[in-house]
Chains A and B, each alone.
Chain A
Amino acid sequence: MKLISLEVENFRCIRKAKVEFTTGLNVLYGPNDLGKSSLVQAIRAALLLQTTAKEHEEFVSWDGEGEPYVGFVFESEEQCIWRVRKTFGAAKAFLDESRNGIDFTTDARGRDVDGRLRDILNWGLVPPGGKDRKKGMQATFLVTALLGEQDHEEAIFDQALGSGPEDSGRKQVAAALQAMAEDPLFKKVLTRVQERVDEAFTANQKRRQGKSSPWSRLREEIEQKTRRNEDRRRELNETQALESQIQDLHDRELEAKHDAEESEREFRRAEVLRQLQECAAADSDYQESERQAAMAIEKERTASAAVKEADEKAQAAREELAKMQNEDRARQRQLESSRLEARRSELIADQTRIQSVIDKLRRIEEADVKVRAADSDLSTRVKELEKLDQERERATLALIDAQRQDRELRAIRFWLLCQEAQTGLSQENAWREEAAQKRAAAAALEAAQPKFALPSSAELENLRRLETDLQVAAAGLNVGFSVRLQPSQELRVRIQRDGGEPTEHILSGNALETSARGQLRIDIDNVAEIAVSGGASDARAAKERLEARWRAEAQPALGAAHVDSLAQLAELAGKADRRAREIQAARVRAEQLDQLIAGQPGWAALLKDRQRQLAAAQKDLEDPDLAKLEQKARKLRIADASAAEKQLERLRPKLETLTAEEKRSGGDWAAARATVEEKKNSLEQASADLDHMQAGLEGDWRQILAQSLDRQAELEPELAEIVEKIQRLSSKEDRTLTSAQQAVHDLDKAVSDAEDEQKKAAEASNEAQLRTATKKADLQRLQQAASKLDPNLVREVSADVEGPPVTEENIEKLHCAWGTQRDRVKEIEGKIQEGRGALQQVGGEVARQRAEDAARELESARERERRVEREYNAWQLLRDTLREAEREEGSNLGRLLAPPIAKRFTDLTLGRYGKLALGPDLRTQGISVGGDERSVSLLSVGTRDQLATIFRLTLGQQLKSSVVLDDQLTQSDPARMLWLRDLLREVAAEIQVVVFTCRPEDYIAEAHGVHSVDLAECLQRSSALERKAGDQD
């Protein structure tokens, strides 16, 4: 505080006074009772007493007129000038503020003036109305120190600063003394520390803002990195969500594929099982057929053996018969010979008797005998010839019969060959017909094939990949977004989302928020048309390129097929493929049939040839009727040409034998006939000879012969008996022969029967073999198809082949189930592709790496922030700690203030007194005298006064505040007064010192540098006082 001016009216003994103060030492002097102390009191009243206080009454003008008024101007700090105007009794108080000391503005008035003054002065005054405020003028430690009353100077030793930390006086003193207490190193350190703190914090300990602030840089970096981290995190979340979704879809796909594979497996298994069952059935049929064929062949063989056996038996019987027949003829010849011998013997006896009778006719007799012998020989020969003739005839007949049989067999063979050719021709025709049917079917299927080109499976796969890529690209565009439309006027808008139906809205102030996945078109009536598309431009371009490819590659194929989707196209292609396979199968079958037909011997020509041969053969037959021929063949059990051939083969040796026999018997007969002729000639010669000889005989030798014949006739019964005997014998032989013939007949019949059986067996065998061949072809076809089947599946189902048969319905059902599962897999694959497409846009592993980088960067920035924060907090703590230490040091104010006071006092007293003991609150505790601490009260009055003055001046010096000394140092000796005057000047060089004194010479010995005021010139005393003085005068 610095005093500037004081204006007083009606204040105790002063009617009116006006004093101006300057810096430095102000010495206001005047005689006693002039009113010097009243002026000091006026200053104290202006600053310390409320206008309404009862204590003002002691200020009432001694004249009794007018209310006491004080106008006091002071400067609290540079350019902060205050004017206090108080009129006591009238309770008028004003506090005006000015920067230049000329222009004032009212800052407070009335009761507020004292509150404001308390704040401005910081003298530890109790606020107005405060519970500790004493009535009247307040007298705090600083009031005493700076504005002490006359005769109360020593009160400074008894007073102390307020104890509370909030005490403004204590604060002011402490602040002032701390500056004094600062160590230079400490100060530098504190300054450095404060600078570092100031880099980061404001005076209010708030974080500094602005470009230079480390927080701003860090915050900005962290915010930027947080945003980036969030973006990257979002990408990563999207990636993870998509990956999770794709993983789920993969799981579902696996499951669906597994189901589809199971379904396909079931379907394939059923198909394989069905084929294997068909194969097994065909094999079984074939085996059965083969077994039947083998049986038939065996049967045929058995029948052939039976035929052979029967034939052999018949042959044997025939041979036996022939033998028997041969034996019979021999016996007959023997018998005949015997008989003839006997008869000849008789005849010889007769001839001997006749010869004896006719002794003379020996020659005749001999001749006759010769003739007779010749005749007999001739007869024998003739009979032999007859027999030979019969034999020859029989052989001829047998040959003819055999030849007939041969012709018949040949005819039968040709007929059977014709039959065979006919059958072959029929089969061939049937095959031709089937081949034609297959070709027709193939042609019909081919006609049903689409006329447009369907894509191959590879092309389809390409199209599917293109479709997938397109889906992926489309998915990339379907990012989803929302648009908020805030109209400033009523608008009619049409909104089309994702190519859907447009909706119309009328907006009249409320915002419209709409969202879409890929495309949004907003048509604002008569204003604008806004088109919003999702995805980056490159993604759209990629999609458009894919769409262009789709239009160029897929749509022509779809358009040509009149279908909308690749699935339908694939179905069409599948159907076409199946149809193509059916066509192929039909053509293959037709070709197989063609090969079969080509493998045939040319049945038509063969038939014609055979028919011609049959016709030729028929001509050789007695009865060319084919029905009879067939009957004959059946009778002979000839089923086919080979059987006929076999019979022909068997007949051939017989025919040869018969031919040889016929030839032999013809030869025998011719030889016998020549012999007979020869014998006849011989007989005729002999007869001629006999006749010649008879000519000499009596009687006719014939008579004699007749007689001989008679005799022979006589001998005939005997001969007949013998003949009968021979005949009986012969008859017995005949019966045996008949039996043999019957046996031959029976055996022939057995042969015939056996041949019939053989024919039937051959027919059955042929049929069975034909059937077996067909079955075998079927089986081979099925086995060939089966060989292409999956061997694993075949192994798997092989156990079930014997099980219940698989029906077409089962197959169809399983195929449908498989199709459903395939569709499900395809649907999931589509979703996976969508997900993958989206993931391709988001980034996958790249997104993960970027998210990790961003998180690391953010963490790094945060770590830097934490480090900086920790460092600045440490700076702050260091600053606070230093200040706290400083405060701690400064709080012991006595320790700070005592040394300079003691030093001055020691100087003053020439070392008589030493260290002054001041308490932390500046309460004087004692003074060192000769090493002992003594109470100040023990000092002399003058010395106490001097010590008090030094105390006050030193304190004022530290507080940079004016000190008002009201007539002090009156007890000082000149030497000390001189020292004190120097002290005043020294102090006044720093602060304003106002001295009210009646002995100005003590202070202004050297006028320069001292502002001296003769109060008599600027002060009007009250009239009462003037009168009293006048009275005295």
Chain B
Amino acid sequence: MKIDGEDQDVALKILHTADWHLGQSFPGFEAEDQPKLTQARIEAVDKLLGLAESHAVDAVLCAGDLFDEPAPQEQWWRELLKLFGRRKWTQRPVFLLPGNHDPLRPNSVWAADHPFRRSLPAWVHVVDRDDFEFAISQDAVLYAVPCRSRAGADDPTSRIPQRTPGDSRIRIGLAHGTTFDAKGHQMNFPVARNAAEQRGLDYLALGDTHGFREYPPKIAPTVYPGTPEPTTFDEMDAGSAAIIFFPRHRRMPLIHKERVARWKWMDKRCSSMEELEDLRGQDLKDCVLRLTLAMEVSVSERARVDEILEELKGNEARVGRAGVLCENLDELQVSVRDAGDFHRDLPDVLNAAIANLRSRGEQAGEDGETAREALVLLYKTLAEERSQTAGAPHARSGGAGQ
């Protein structure tokens, strides 16, 4: 990356990240999917550190909520230690800031006597003082303020000293909190939008909001890099880190957004079988897919829907086509009007049962819904039976139960 065409114009490069939420669980997902999402977070951190190396940044700023809990399970801090252990850095300090999810507390992972703290390499610095100050280089200084509780009404940046006359260094702030325009900011460490300008900072590195947000004021930018690995479907522009290039002579820094997330969280709504079949053909292996099916299908189509969903989701024998599938079938309606779903040569007793269920299934309400589902189950059971006894007299090619 060049600024004004010359590398030597860059006085300082930093990587800014936040909200790793290591150890976060995803209980809203299927049990087999949860580890994928949780593990991806540590992989994202590995990518971040790789990014820091490839860009040869001068420092890595991690702006809080690095763990989902102040005292996470040992597995997660051990994994993080392993990642640090793989790097042989000496001139690239990494700053870890406690956030409101993992505040600096005596029994937290940040405590001086915690094995995590004791095992950190010398180039990893935990921000454990309100007056934390670190000279990143001769011309650049970092000020950082940790969170000491889950909630707080004070602006953490107010503790950063103001620029003194004659101080021409690059001044960088590191804090965790919510800017005044965000919901619930009052007790979530509210940060003034013009805090960077007030404190005489060239760059204010923040954490908390999971989407990438940037306030480029007239003088100094304030940036939320967002979480490197999204945590929900509702996060806008999540999954990145920020690499900041500070030109010489304190000119405006250049902010470069770099995607690191493994998972792409996708919200998809299908309103026809064609759309669903089309989706089935797409490459979804890196997707956390929330699939809403809003359509009316016949009994056989409904069975086909389940086939496709299983194909996307995978099973014990086969890996799913989608990374993680989270289906919403609330708007999926089954129509029992189509009489051709079942074979006509089925025994009378089964035909009688089908007729009975179809009749009930035409009713509205819960009973009708149960009857429709029972019809689908019958259809699928017959199909399974057919597949097990291929060529059985009651089976007919072209569909389950036929």
Contact residue among B178, B187, B346, B377 (Cβ-Cβ distance under 8 Å from A839): B187
Pairwise interchain contact B188-A877, C-beta atoms closer than 8 A: no
Pairwise interchain contact B28-A857, C-beta atoms closer than 8 A: yes
Give the shortest distance, in Å, between B149 (CB) and chain A (any CB).
4
Pairwise interchain contact A874-B373, C-beta atoms closer than 8 A: yes
* B139 proximal to A (CB < 8 A): no
Pairwise interchain contact A860-B27, C-beta atoms closer than 8 A: yes
| Chain A contacts for B378, CB-based, 8 A | 189, 193, 878
Across the interface, name the chain B residue whose C-beta is closest to A884. B356
Pairwise interchain contact A847-B369, C-beta atoms closer than 8 A: no
Give the shortest distance, in Å, between A1012 (CB) and chain B (any CB).
44
Pairwise interchain contact A875-B27, C-beta atoms closer than 8 A: no
* A537 proximal to B (CB < 8 A): yes
Pairwise interchain contact A881-B149, C-beta atoms closer than 8 A: no
Across the interface, name the chain A residue whose C-beta is closest to B149. A840
| Chain A contacts for B382, CB-based, 8 A | 185, 189
How many angstroms from the CA of A536 to the CA of B108 in the assembled complex?
Answer: 13
* A577 proximal to B (CB < 8 A): no
* B357 proximal to A (CB < 8 A): yes
Question: Which residues of chain A from 862 to 877 have a CB within 8 Å of any chain B CB?
Answer: 870-871, 873-875, 877
Pairwise interchain contact B188-A844, C-beta atoms closer than 8 A: yes
| Chain A contacts for B107, CB-based, 8 A | 536-538
B interface size (C-beta, 8 A): 42
| Chain A contacts for B152, CB-based, 8 A | 836, 840, 844
Pairwise interchain contact B106-A882, C-beta atoms closer than 8 A: no
Interface readout for A83-98 with B: 1 if CB under 8 Å, 0 if not? Answer: 0000000000000000
Across the interface, name the chain A residue whose C-beta is closest to B371. A877
Given known A843-B151, A846-B151, A881-B356, contact A870–B377 (CB-CB < 8 A): no
Pick the most buried of B353, B356, B394: most chain A CB atoms within 10 A of its CB.
B353
* B150 proximal to A (CB < 8 A): yes
A interface size (C-beta, 8 A): 48
Pairwise interchain contact A885-B349, C-beta atoms closer than 8 A: yes
Across the interface, name the chain B residue whose C-beta is closest to A537. B107
How many angstroms from the CA of A538 to the CA of B110 in the assembled complex?
Answer: 13
| Chain B contacts for A542, CB-based, 8 A | 105-106
Given known A844-B188, A882-B353, A885-B356, contact A870–B28 (CB-CB < 8 A): no
Contact residue among A185, A239, A848, A875 (Cβ-Cβ distance under 8 Å from B377): A875
Give the shortest distance, in Å, between A177 (CB) and chain B (any CB).
13
How many angstroms from the CA of A888 to the CA of B349 in the assembled complex?
Answer: 8
Pairwise interchain contact B28-A871, C-beta atoms closer than 8 A: no
Pairwise interchain contact B349-A840, C-beta atoms closer than 8 A: no
Pairwise interchain contact B352-A185, C-beta atoms closer than 8 A: no
* A530 proximal to B (CB < 8 A): no
Pairwise interchain contact B370-A185, C-beta atoms closer than 8 A: no
> What secondary structure prevails in chain A residues at the interface with B?
helix
How many angstroms from the CA of A882 to the CA of B381 in the assembled complex?
Answer: 13
Pick the most buried of A846, A847, A882: most chain B CB atoms within 10 A of its CB.
A846
Q: Given A189-B385, A857-B28, A888-B352, 4 other A-B contacts at CB below 8 A?
A: A185-B346, A243-B186, A873-B370, A888-B349
| Chain B contacts for A882, CB-based, 8 A | 349-350, 353
Across the interface, name the chain B residue whose C-beta is closest to A192. B381
Pick the most buried of B150, B187, B356: most chain A CB atoms within 10 A of its CB.
B187
Give the shortest distance, in Å, between B299 (CB) and chain A (any CB).
12
Question: Which residues of chain A from 221 to 239 have a CB within 8 Å of any chain B CB?
Answer: 225, 239
Pairwise interchain contact A878-B377, C-beta atoms closer than 8 A: yes
Question: Which residues of chain A from 837 to 864 have a CB within 8 Å of any chain B CB?
Answer: 839-848, 853, 856-857, 860-861
Pairwise interchain contact A877-B106, C-beta atoms closer than 8 A: no
Interface readout for A243-261 with B: 1 if CB under 8 Å, 0 if not? Answer: 1001000000000000000
**Can you sample 19 A-B contacts with CB below 8 Å?**
A189-B385, A225-B27, A541-B106, A542-B106, A836-B153, A845-B187, A846-B100, A853-B28, A857-B28, A870-B370, A874-B370, A874-B373, A875-B377, A881-B374, A884-B356, A885-B349, A885-B353, A888-B349, A889-B348
* B317 proximal to A (CB < 8 A): no
Pairwise interchain contact B373-A871, C-beta atoms closer than 8 A: yes
| Chain A contacts for B149, CB-based, 8 A | 840-841
How many angstroms from the CA of A844 to the CA of B369 in the assembled complex?
Answer: 42
Across the interface, name the chain B residue whose C-beta is closest to A869. B370
Contact residue among B353, B384, B394 (Cβ-Cβ distance under 8 Å from A884): B353
* A564 proximal to B (CB < 8 A): no
Question: Which residues of chain B from 355 to 386 have a CB within 8 Å of any chain A CB?
Answer: 356-357, 360, 369-371, 373-374, 376-378, 381-382, 384-385
* B392 proximal to A (CB < 8 A): yes
How many angstroms from the CA of A246 to the CA of B151 in the assembled complex?
Answer: 13
* A186 proximal to B (CB < 8 A): yes
Across the interface, name the chain A residue whose C-beta is closest to B326. A860
* A20 proximal to B (CB < 8 A): no
* B347 proximal to A (CB < 8 A): yes
* B41 proximal to A (CB < 8 A): no
How many angstroms from the CA of A73 to the CA of B334 in the assembled complex?
Answer: 59
Question: Which residues of chain B from 179 to 197 have a CB within 8 Å of any chain A CB?
Answer: 184, 186-188
| Chain B contacts for A536, CB-based, 8 A | 107
Pairwise interchain contact B357-A186, C-beta atoms closer than 8 A: no
Pairwise interchain contact A839-B151, C-beta atoms closer than 8 A: yes
* B321 proximal to A (CB < 8 A): no
| Chain B contacts for A538, CB-based, 8 A | 105-107
How many angstroms from the CA of A239 to the CA of B382 in the assembled complex?
Answer: 54
* B101 proximal to A (CB < 8 A): yes
Contact residue among B187, B347, B376, B377 (Cβ-Cβ distance under 8 Å from A183): B347
Pairwise interchain contact A885-B350, C-beta atoms closer than 8 A: yes
| Chain B contacts for A860, CB-based, 8 A | 27-28
How many angstroms from the CA of A846 to the CA of B28 in the assembled complex?
Answer: 18
* A188 proximal to B (CB < 8 A): yes
Across the interface, name the chain B residue whose C-beta is closest to A846. B150
Given known A185-B346, A860-B27, contact A844–B150 (CB-CB < 8 A): yes
Sort A-B residue pairs by CB-CB distance and give the 9 closest, nearest first.
A844-B151, A840-B149, A874-B373, A843-B150, A885-B352, A845-B188, A183-B347, A885-B353, A878-B374
Pairwise interchain contact B350-A183, C-beta atoms closer than 8 A: yes
Interface readout for A183-199 with B: 1 if CB under 8 Å, 0 if not? Answer: 10110110011001000
Give the shortest distance, in Å, between B194 (CB) and chain A (any CB).
22
Contact residue among A189, A842, A856, A889 (Cβ-Cβ distance under 8 Å from B150): A842
Pairwise interchain contact A844-B105, C-beta atoms closer than 8 A: no
* A990 proximal to B (CB < 8 A): no
Pairwise interchain contact B350-A189, C-beta atoms closer than 8 A: yes
Given known A246-B187, A860-B28, contact A874–B356 (CB-CB < 8 A): no
| Chain A contacts for B350, CB-based, 8 A | 183, 185-186, 189, 882, 885
How many angstroms from the CA of A886 to the CA of B347 in the assembled complex?
Answer: 11
Give the shortest distance, in Å, between B28 (CB) and chain A (any CB).
4
Across the interface, name the chain B residue whose C-beta is closest to A838. B151
How many angstroms from the CA of A194 to the CA of B93 in the assembled complex?
Answer: 65
How many angstroms from the CA of A514 to the CA of B376 in the assembled complex?
Answer: 60
Give the shortest distance, in Å, between A405 (CB) and chain B (any CB).
73
| Chain A contacts for B153, CB-based, 8 A | 246, 836
Pairwise interchain contact A846-B353, C-beta atoms closer than 8 A: no
Pairwise interchain contact B353-A192, C-beta atoms closer than 8 A: no
| Chain B contacts for A885, CB-based, 8 A | 349-350, 352-353, 356
Contact residue among B150, B186, B352 (Cβ-Cβ distance under 8 Å from A847): B150
Question: Which residues of chain B from 81 to 115 have a CB within 8 Å of any chain A CB?
Answer: 100-101, 105-107
| Chain A contacts for B349, CB-based, 8 A | 181, 183, 186, 882, 885-886, 888-889
Across the interface, name the chain B residue whose C-beta is closest to A469. B148
Contact residue among B106, B184, B371 (Cβ-Cβ distance under 8 Å from A848): B184
How many angstroms from the CA of A853 to the CA of B234 in the assembled complex?
Answer: 13
Give the shortest distance, in Å, between B248 (CB) and chain A (any CB).
37
| Chain B contacts for A181, CB-based, 8 A | 349
How many angstroms from the CA of A135 to the CA of B27 in the assembled complex?
Answer: 71
| Chain A contacts for B374, CB-based, 8 A | 874-875, 877-878, 881
| Chain A contacts for B381, CB-based, 8 A | 189, 192-193, 878
How many angstroms from the CA of A541 to the CA of B108 in the assembled complex?
Answer: 13
Give the shortest distance, in Å, between A471 (CB) and chain B (any CB).
14
Give the shortest distance, in Å, between B224 (CB) and chain A (any CB).
15
| Chain A contacts for B27, CB-based, 8 A | 225, 853, 857, 860-861
